[in-house]
Structure 1
Amino acid sequence: MRIRTTVTVLVLAVIAATAAILLTRPVAAPTPVSAPETSPAPLAAVRHPTEPHRPAPIPAHGSGTFTVDPSAGPLLGTAGRLRRFHIAVETTVADGLPDFTRIVDETLGDRRSWIGDNQHRFQRVPANAAADFTIYLATRDTAYRLCRAGGVNIRVSGVPYTSCRRTGAVVINYDRWRLAVPDYTAAGTPLATYRAYVINHEVGHELGHGHVPCPGSGRAAPVMQTQTLGLRGCVANPWPDKDGH
Structure 2
Amino acid sequence: MRQKKPAARDSRTARRSEERKATSRRRGLLGLAALAVVTLLAAGLVARGGHGGHGGDGGAEAGSAGTSRTSPSPEAVRTEARGRPSASTGAGKSPKAKPSKSPEMSASPGPGPKSGTGLFTTASASGGLVGHGATVRRYTVQVEGGSGISATEAARQIERVLADPRGWTANGRDSFQLVGSGPHDFEVKIATPDTVDRLCGQAGLDTHGEVNCDVGSQVIVNLKRWLTGSPEFSGPVEEYRALIINHEVGHRIGHGHETCPGAGRPAPAMMQQIYGLKGCAPNAWPYDRNGTYLGGPAVA
Instruction: Compute the TM-score of the two structures, normalised by the length of structure 1.
Output: 0.69
Worse-matched range after superposition: 129-138 or 65-74: 65-74
Instruction: Return the alpha-carbon distance in structure 2 between the equivalents of residues 57 and 198 of structure 1.
Output: 16
> CA RMSD of the aligned region, Å?
2.2
Tell me what 2:132 maps to: 78
Tell me what 2:146 maps to: 92
Q: Residue 153 of structure 1: CA displacement?
A: 2.5
Tell me what 1:171 maps to: 220
1:69 and 1:126 in contact (8 A); partners too: yes
What amino acid sits opposite 2:215 in the alignment? R
Change in Cα spacing, 1:183 to 1:57, as seen in structure 2 (3 Å) is closer
Higher strand share: 1
Q: Residue 190 of structure 1: CA displacement?
A: 1.5
Give the alignment partner of residue 208 of structure 1, picking from 233, 240, 254: 254
1:154 and 1:164 in contact (8 A); partners too: yes
What does residue range 1-245 of structure 1 map to in structure 2 within 5 Å? 55=109, 58-127=112-181, 129-155=182-208, 160-185=209-234, 189-241=235-287, 242-243=292-293, 245=295
Worse-matched range after superposition: 56-65 or 192-201: 56-65
Q: Residue 228 of structure 1: CA displacement?
A: 4.1
Change in Cα spacing, 1:55 to 1:197, as seen in structure 2 (3 Å) is closer
Change in Cα spacing, 1:54 to 1:132, as seen in structure 2 (3 Å) is closer
What amino acid sits opposite 2:126 in the alignment? A
1:77 and 1:121 in contact (8 A); partners too: yes
Q: Residue 95 of structure 1: CA displacement?
A: 2.2
Question: What 5-or-longer segments of structure 1 have no aligned partner?
Answer: 1-52
Instruction: Return the alpha-carbon distance in structure 2 between the equivalents of residues 237 and 73 of structure 1.
Output: 27
Worse-matched range after superposition: 176-185 or 79-88: 176-185
Instruction: Return the alpha-carbon distance in structure 1 between the equivalents of residues 171 and 183 of structure 2.
Output: 25
Aligned length: 185
Q: Residue 56 of structure 1: CA displacement?
A: 5.6
Instruction: Return the alpha-carbon distance in structure 2 between the equivalents of residues 55 and 191 of structure 1.
Output: 9
Identical pairs, percent? 37
2:109 and 2:227 in contact (8 A); partners too: no
Instruction: Return the alpha-carbon distance in structure 1 between the equivalents of residues 232 and 118 of structure 2.
Output: 30
Structure having the higher Rg: 1
Instruction: Return the alpha-carbon distance in structure 1 between the equivalents of residues 113 and 125 of structure 2.
Output: 27
2:108 and 2:227 in contact (8 A); partners too: no
Q: Residue 175 of structure 1: CA displacement?
A: 0.7
